[in-house]
Amino acid sequence: METKVFSIDGKEVRTIELNDSVFNREVSDGCIYHAVNNELANRRVGTACTKGRSEVHYSNAKPYKQKGTGNARAGDKKSPIWVGGGTMFGPKPRDYSYVLPKKVKRLAMKSLLSLGIKEERLVVVEDFTTDSGKTRDLCAIIKNFVQDETRTILILKDDDVMIRRAAKNIPYLRVLSYNRLSSKELLYGRKVLVLETAAKSLNDFYGDK
């Protein structure tokens, strides 16, 4: 398929050939769902921790005698039914991460790129950089494609240090490399700007082999 390539001023300059198997395929909602869930699970820290009755620092003495008080039997104050006692079935530190099959992840990325084309959110932009590394220079380019400060994704071919430096102070902009995409960012990004060389790299990286 062919799509337009825009200059940094937002004007059409030429067209580019995109791989149909990457940018024009049937969208798999299931793969997108699993890919996003996998990313969110892998980001979880999993450090929540509560103390059980055997871990609470409290006296082991029996609070009152077994019989004659009219109260329920009590062995110690570490019981979960007492104030300051242990917690029943509370969270413990755990690892929430898991490995997603490579084929599912690749299909999810291709589906998200195709979805961006279908919804006209994905735009191919000619290669540019910010030699100064200043935020205002990058903002001037981004505003030619994004009218209001909506969530924007910028996909690069190489790790451009100056662009990443300039993007640090733009809260609505996320910078990704073509080979390290985020399914969550692609799904929720309202505008996806792909540099021309990054688009060509995506053709080969996610193309059917």
Q: Look at the block and give the residue holding tokens 């662009």.
A: 163
**Domain count of the chain?**
1
Residue-averaged pLDDT of the chain: 92
Q: Is 71 inside a domain boundary?
A: no
Share of the chain above pLDDT 70, in %: 100
- pLDDT for 147: 82
The dihedral built from the CA positions of residue 185, 190, 193 and 194, taken in this order, carries a sign that is positive
pTM of the model: 0.84
pLDDT digits (tens, 9 = 90+) for 81-91: 998 899 999 99
The tally of CA atoms less than 13 A away on the side-chain side of residue 93 is 2
Q: Are strands 152-156 and 2-6 parallel, antiparallel or unpaired?
A: unpaired
The answer to whether 143 touches 9, Cβ cutoff 8 Å, is no
Q: Is 132 inside a domain boundary?
A: yes
Distances (CA, A) of 176 to 67, 74, 112: 69, 59, 14
CATH of the domain at 8: 3.40.1370.10
Q: Is 97 inside a domain boundary?
A: no
For residues 6, 7, 11, 13, the Cα torsion angle rounded to the nearest 10 degrees is: -70
| Enclosing domain of residue 130 | 2-27+110-205
pLDDT digits (tens, 9 = 90+) for 130-166: 888 899 999 999 999 988 889 999 999 888 899 999 9
pLDDT digits (tens, 9 = 90+) for 14-36: 899 999 999 999 999 999 999 99
Q: Is 191 inside a domain boundary?
A: yes
